[in-house]
Amino acid sequence: MIAKMQCVVLDCADAGELARFYHSLFGGALNRPDPRWSLDGDWATLHTATGLVLAFQRVEDHRPPRWPDPGHPQQFHLDLEVEDVDRAQEEVLRLGAVLLDRGEGQRGWRVFADPAGHPFCLVRH
């Protein structure tokens, strides 16, 4: 095992609004304090009763997906929690991932694409 699923992140125009929608569907704890991230107008979370965490990320000029129009594809990414970002990076690159953003400075994550181009982040535990 290389990583643990931290959360599924959905891009949207209004993070709070989409979080409230999914809260109405699933229940759970909306915007529960969590040391892994900060909550603000651009980021909201839902800790579901099953343990899955959904996160909602505001994206400037968000273009909603249109099923099944590839010109407006589905938009989400996975945050994968790892103990050692450098070691996990070596492993995911070996498996066919592509490094998209090294995350220079003090940032605790790096962005990759899976072999089909879907983005995911390795996030330091």
70-107 pLDDT, tens digit per residue, is 888 888 888 999 999 999 999 999 999 999 988 776 77
- Residue 125 makes CB contacts below 8 A (sequence gap 6+) with 81, 82, 83
Q: Which residues of 62-73 are buried (b: 16+ CB within 10 A; e: fewer)?
A: eeeeeeeeeeee
User: Beta strands of the chain (E only): which ranges?
Assistant: 4-12, 29-30, 43-47, 53-58, 76-82, 98-101, 109-113, 119-124
pTM: 0.79
The percentage of the chain sitting over the pLDDT mark of 70, rounded to a whole number, equals 98
- What CATH number matches the domain at 4-124, 2.40.10.170, 3.50.50.60, 3.10.180.10, 3.40.630.30? 3.10.180.10
Tokens of 120: 């995911």
Residue given tokens 């909550």 in the structure block: 39
Strands 119-124 and 109-113: antiparallel
* Domain ranges for the chain: 4-124
Is residue 65 within 8 A of residue 72, CB to CB? The reply is: yes
Tokens of 90: 């070596």
